[in-house]
Amino acid sequence: VGSPNTGKTSLFNRLTGLRAKTGNYPGITVDLRSAQIEIGNGPSQRTIQLIDLPGLYSLEPTSPEETVAAEALRGNRLGKVDAVVIVLDATAIGRNLSLATEVLELGLPSVVVLNLIDAADANGIEIDLHTLSAELECPVIAVSARTGRGLDDLRNQIQALLAVPATSLPITRTNCVSGCTGCAYAARFDWSDLVVQRSVRGVSHDAPAKLQTIDRYLTSPWIGTLSLLAVMLAVFVVIFSLADIPMSLIEAGFERITLWVDRILPNADRFSPSRLAAAIALSLGVIVALYKSMGFKLTRRNLLISGGFLVGAVLLPSDDFRSLLLDGVIGGVGGVLVFLPQICILFFFITLLEDSGYLARGAFVMERVMRKVGLPGKAFIPMLSAHACAIPGIMAARTIENWRDRLVTILVLPLLTCSARLPVYAMIAALLFGDSPVLASLTFAGAYLLGLAAALGTAFCLKKTIVAGDPAPLVIELPAFRRPSLRNALLTTYDRAVVFIKNAGGVILLISVALWFMASYPKPDPATLSGDEKAQNQQSLQYSFAGRLGQAAEPIFEPLGFNWKINVGVISSFAAREVLVSALSVIHGIGEDGGEDPQGLVNSLRAQQRPDGSPVFSRATCFSLMVFYVLAMQCLPTQAVTRRETGSWKWAIFQFVYMTLLAYVSALIVYQTLTHLGIA
Amino acid sequence: MMIQAGGKLSGVDLGRWVCAAIDGPNESVIRMRSLGICVGRPLDLVCDGDPMIVRVGSTQIGLSRFLAKHVTVQPRSESLEPVEDTAS
């Protein structure tokens, strides 16, 4: 346990390495990282569970994370606490001694750890550990999570604490928490000052003059905002340029898997070992995904459903099973996992920026701007992340302490343009202005701005209505600038990536199977099919549930300028936007790989005609489709993460409904206006 | 004159002050206190604006003007200096 910015998580990472697991504890939406580690040698060796509690400034919580940490310390959340490791920043002990005393007053066996001792040494700060230990009446150990110094001492001390049966000692400390007038915090701080006075030498209040000057610029209204924009732009340039290579590797990897599975799957025999193994693996995957992401309970009815799925998977005709596995599962999962490199790079840079102390300045600078729309300055980090993918954005919203502010931020994040929208924008921009790169880029930029404006506008409206209330006023610590640890950033990135795969992976699998089913069944009578394979695929899709839904939805989407083929695209990309491109390819008889030959797709889409001979993809329809895709909530994995972070489906459904309505109405206005202006 | 006599943190000059009283929204008060802005404690106004920067010991805190209106400060007399000097 420790205050934010004390290097608590770095220390945890150092002690546990890759063994740490980010877990959900029952009833909390807060992620807690925990790890089993071995301490001691020989016969005295034992395994302990180390839990990294969220950072907190005091035991009087003001955010969901602090609540969990405070309750966990009191033993109300995660069971009995055997020992507490209190992490302090050695360069600024006075800053967090107040929390340390508060925790020590709980009377649990504790050890105080002075982290960042290397930085304290470098700054000429001398700490008398004995005096400090005597004042605090608990062992004190100096460590550096960055270099690994003192970690063995810490392990031994933890072991020593656990060896003694825990007794609740009455607190004999003479600091006058109750006797002093007024506030307990002031008393604790006064006491901290005394302790620091007795045990620490060489403390200078002031950061080096150079850093102070830099800090003044970074927090000033204009230069601060501009440099923040520059840093963020740089991060995004790096994300989009670096992620290219691993993204193509992942794509190639999934292609290889597809080929390999295609080769080993038998053509006819349903009961061959490889076919059975694949069917069982798929069924297990679906059950685990249901269990993990939907809270599926192992009741008799659900077991029957699972068994039914397995039997269905086994009995499926070979061609269908192949298509389920290759197009449905591998294609669907691969299509989303391809964004993982971008997300990892994003997390990596955000962790570096956060550890360096810069993000707090960013939030400080953005406060002015964000407050105007009713959001706190801290919302800028999630909003930034959401421009790569809404999921890491929603996960990053945890840095916002106030629940209402966090909720509003989460609700508007999916309006920001994520990478999955880019293929759609690219297609529409090419349809509209294929001959003019300038106009095409403007269309692109316009779509980004529309998303941003919609997010800010919606935040403003939500703050006035459903989630009423002003944003919590800013109180933010601006931690000292510090050199970030690469190792810690890598471990954090790994951890976040695992959380992303766990959160999104299961949902993606389920959706992929469901969408495959919608697009494949019912099958038309083979005798009625005509033409080559592409034409047959087109007719099958038209005959399937997805195709029928598209036709049934015609009256709904007609005022937006969509015909039933576009509707099929909209419905198929319901779970993941980028599917629109390949769905439009199939439904227009271009074949599934149409997306890979953009010019071919665009040309044949341009050639499409309505019954009256006018082009389907008129300017009005294109703009309307673009606006729809900027604003619509076409991403089920995001919804699953919203549910998780807000703790209920209620907000996920609300998010879906308001975004869909917003998208529909906006696209309607665009299409009708353009048509009436004669821009068809 | 008003400045010499102290006043709300939102209305005073840059410099050294002592916190005399805090009110305002409960959550924010807890947060301010737990960061060291509490009654009887010294604080420096480092950078004015909205939000402004306040230093408590070695901690820099970004504080919105809205909250600063809820913090009453008094000029810090030199007699309080020893406490301030030892704050890390």
Question: What tens digit of pLDDT does each residue of A41-61 get?
Answer: 766 777 888 888 888 888 888
pLDDT at A207: 60
CB pairs A-B closer than 8 Å? 126
Strands in A445-489 per DSSP E? 475-478
- pLDDT category of residue A422 using cuts at 50, 70 and 90: confident
What is the Cα–Cα distance from A414 to A628, expressed in whole angstroms?
A: 13
Q: Is pLDDT of A603 > 80? A: yes
A177 or A292: which carries more pLDDT confidence? A292
* A166 pLDDT more than 60: no
Burial class (CB in 10 A: 0-12, 13-18, 19+), A676: exposed
From chain B, pick out residues whose CB is under 8 angstroms from the CB of A402: 27
Residues of chain B with Cβ-Cβ distance to A58 below 8 Å are: 30, 33-34
Q: How far apart are CA A587 and CA A583, in angstroms?
A: 6
Look at residue B83 in the predicted model and tell me its pLDDT: 43
Beta-strand relationship, B42-47 and A31-39: unpaired
Average pLDDT over residues A367-393: 86
Q: How far apart are CA A58 and CA A39, in angstroms?
A: 29
How would residue A35 be classed by pLDDT, with cut points 50, 70 and 90?
A: confident
A483 touches chain B (CB under 8 A): no
Measured between CB atoms, which of B25, B38, B66 is closest to A186?
A: B38
* pLDDT for A495 beyond 60: yes
| CB contact A185 to B (< 8 Å) | yes
Alpha-carbon gap, residue A445 to A428, rounded angstroms = 13
Could you tell me the pLDDT band of residue B2, with boundaries at 50, 70 and 90? very low
Residues 60-79 of B with CB under 8 A from A: 60-64, 66-67
What digits encode the pLDDT tens for the residues A612-635?
888 888 999 999 999 999 999 988
CA pair distance B6, B72, nearest whole angstrom: 8
Q: Which residue of B has its CA nearest to A473?
A: B64
Listed by number, the residues of chain A in 362-381 with a beta carbon closer than 8 Å to a beta carbon of chain B are 363-364, 367-368, 371, 377
Residues on chain A touching B67 (C-beta within 8 angstroms): 473-475
Q: Which of A155, A88, A146, A85 is nearest to A118 (CA)?
A: A146
Structure tokens, A549: 């839904």
Q: What average pLDDT does range A565-584 have in this prediction?
A: 83
The pLDDT value recorded for residue A170 is 46
Check if the beta carbon of residue A588 is closer than 8 Å to that of residue A605.
yes
Give the pLDDT confidence score for residue A203 in this predicted structure.
62
- State the alpha helices, DSSP H only, in A544-635: 545-552, 554-557, 564-572, 579-587, 598-607, 619-631
Tell me the β-bridge partners of A21: A34
What pLDDT is attached to residue A340?
A: 84
Identity of the residue in B28, B38, B60 whose CB atom sits nearest the CB atom of A189? B38
The band of A413, judged by pLDDT with boundaries at 50, 70 and 90, is: very high
A185–B33 CB contact, under 8 Å: yes
Torsion on CA atoms A157, A162, A168, A171, rounded to nearest 10: 0
Give CA–CA dist A198/A201, Å, rounded: 8
- From residue B65, give the alpha-carbon distance in Å to each of A367, A460, B13, B48: 11, 21, 13, 9
Sign (positive or negative) of CA dihedral A230, A232, A233, A239: positive
pLDDT value at residue A179: 42
Is the pLDDT at A204 greater than 90? The verdict is: no
What count of other Cβ atoms lies within 10 Å of the Cβ of residue A147?
12
For residue A241, pLDDT over 80 is answered with: yes
Residue A46 CA: distances (Å) to CA of A111, A155, B58: 18, 11, 40
Q: Is A216 on the interface with B (CB under 8 A)?
A: yes
What is the spatial distance between Cα B76 and Cα B41, in angstroms, rounded to a whole number? Answer: 10
Q: Is the predicted pLDDT of residue A486 greater than 80, yes or no?
A: yes
| A363 contacts on B by Cβ (under 8 Å) | 62
- Measuring CA to CA, how many Å separate A595 from each of A245, A389, A512, A591? 20, 21, 18, 9
**Is residue B14 within 8 Å of B8, Cβ to Cβ?**
no
Q: Which of A3, A198, A475, A476 should be substituted to probe chain B, the one whose Cβ sees the most B Cβ atoms within 10 Å? A: A475
Predicted confidence (pLDDT) per residue in B27-43, tens digit = 888 888 888 888 888 88
Contact check, Cβ <8 Å, A62/B30? yes
Q: Please state the rounded mean pLDDT for residues A644-652.
A: 87
Q: What is the pLDDT of residue A264?
A: 80
| A85 interface with B at CB cutoff 8 Å | no
Question: How far apart, in Å, are the Cα atoms of A73 and each of A66, A84, A515, A567?
Answer: 11, 8, 46, 54
Q: Pick the residue of A185, A201, A225 with the most B CBs within 10 A to test the interface with B by mutation.
A: A185
CA distance A219 to B48: 11
DSSP designation for A329: I
CA A560, A572, A391, A449 dihedral sign is negative
Residue B20 CB partners (closer than 8 Å, separation 6+): B6, B39, B72, B73, B74
Number of CB atoms found within 10 A of residue A468's CB? 10
> Would the pLDDT of A182 be above 70?
no
* Cβ(A145)–Cβ(A10) below 8 Å: yes
Q: pTM for this one?
A: 0.81
For residue A356, what is the enclosing H or E element? helix A340-356
- Out of A31-45, A72-86, A515-529, A580-594, pick the least confident: A580-594
Per-residue confidence at B88, pLDDT binned at 50, 70, 90? very low
- pLDDT interval class at A167 (50, 70, 90): low
Please list, in sequence order, all residues whose beta carbon lies within 8 angstroms of the beta carbon of residue A323, skipping any fewer than 6 positions away.
A516, A520
Best CA proximity match to A331, nearest among A599, A575, A626: A575
Give the whole-angstrom CA distance, residue A395 versus residue A622: 33
pLDDT at B23 over 90: no
Mean pLDDT (chain A) is 82
Name residue, tokens 């929208």. Answer: A421
- CB-closest option in A57, A205, A402 to B35: A57
C-alpha distances out from residue A240 to A235, A244, A343, A394, A411, Å: 9, 7, 10, 20, 25
* Rounded average pLDDT over A114-135: 84
Contacting residues of B for A221, CB less than 8 Å apart: 49
Question: Could you tell me which residue, A582 or A178, shows the higher pLDDT?
Answer: A582
CA distance A113 to A157: 10
The minimum CA-CA distance between A200 and chain B, rounded to whole Å, is 8
Cα A493 to chain centroid, rounded: 11
Q: Which of A521, A528, A525, A529 is nearest to A547 (CA)?
A: A521
- The pair of three-digit structure tokens given for residue B16, joined into one six-digit string: 């050294």
The predicted pLDDT at position A539 comes to 82
Say yes or no to pLDDT of A666 above 90. yes
- DSSP alpha helix (H) spans, A110-208: 117-122, 129-136, 151-163, 184-199
Whether B86 has a pLDDT exceeding 50, the answer reads no
**Confidence band for A455, pLDDT divided at 50, 70 and 90:** very high
Share of chain B above pLDDT 70, in %: 82
Percent of chain B as helix, strand, coil, to the nearest 5: 30, 35, 35
Band of pLDDT at residue B82, cut at 50, 70 and 90: very low
Q: Which helix (H) or strand (E) element contains residue A307?
A: helix A300-315
By Cβ distance, the residue of A93, A193, A476 closest to B61 is A476
**A58:B47 CB<8 A:** no
Backbone angles phi, psi at A609, to 5 degrees: -125, 150
B87 contact partners, CB below 8 Å, separation of at least 6: A94, A189, A192, A193, A196, A205, B42, B56, B57, B58
pLDDT of residue A468 exceeding 80, the answer is no
Would the CB atoms of B83 and A477 count as touching at under 8 Å? no
pLDDT at A177 over 80: no
**Range in A69-78, A175-184, A472-481 the model is least confident about:** A175-184
User: Is A219's CB within 8 Å of B47's CB?
Assistant: yes
Determine the Cα–Cα distance for residues A162 and A142; give it in Å rounded to an integer.
Answer: 19
Dist CA A71 CA A65 (whole Å): 10
**Distance (Å) from the alpha carbon of B68 to chain A's nearest alpha carbon:** 10
- Taking CA atoms, A558 is separated from A68, A237, A427, A611, A625, in Å, by 50, 39, 21, 14, 12
Give A24's pLDDT tier (boundaries 50, 70, 90): low
pLDDT above 90 coverage of chain A, percent: 12
Instruction: Out of B34, B61, B66, name the one closest to residue A58 (CB).
Output: B34
Is some CB atom of chain A closer than 8 A to the CB atom of B14?
no
Q: CA-to-CA distance for A71 and A60, rounded, in angstroms?
A: 10
- CA nearest B24 in A: which residue? A473
Residue A32, beta-bridge partner list: A23
Q: Give residues 22 to 51 of B whose Cβ lies within 8 Å of A.
A: 24-25, 27-28, 30-36, 38-41, 47, 49-51
Report how far residue A398's alpha carbon sits from residue A392's, in angstroms, rounded to the nearest whole number: 11
Residue range A345-365: mean pLDDT, rounded: 87
Burial of A522 (0-12, 13-18, 19+ CB in 10 A): exposed
CB atoms within 10 A of CB A38: 11
Report pLDDT for A592. Answer: 61
**pLDDT confidence band for A415 (50 / 70 / 90):** very high
User: Does the pLDDT value for residue A672 go beyond 90?
Assistant: yes
Provide, as residue numbers in chain B, all residues whose Cβ is less than 8 Å from the Cβ of A478: 53, 60-62
Contacts of B59 in chain A (CB under 8 A): 92, 95, 477
Q: How far from A430 is each of A624, A643, B3, CA to CA, in Å?
A: 15, 36, 63
Q: Scanning the structure block, which residue is given the tokens 């997300």?
A: A343
A201 vs B: CB within 8 A: no
**Both structure tokens of A85:** 């490791």
| pLDDT, average across residues A521-541 | 79
B61–A95 C-beta distance less than 8 A:
no
Is there a contact between A473 and B60 if contact means CB atoms under 8 Å apart? no
Please tell me the predicted confidence (pLDDT) of residue A593: 58
- CB of A473 within 8 Å of any CB in chain B? yes
Element (H, E) at A340: helix A340-356
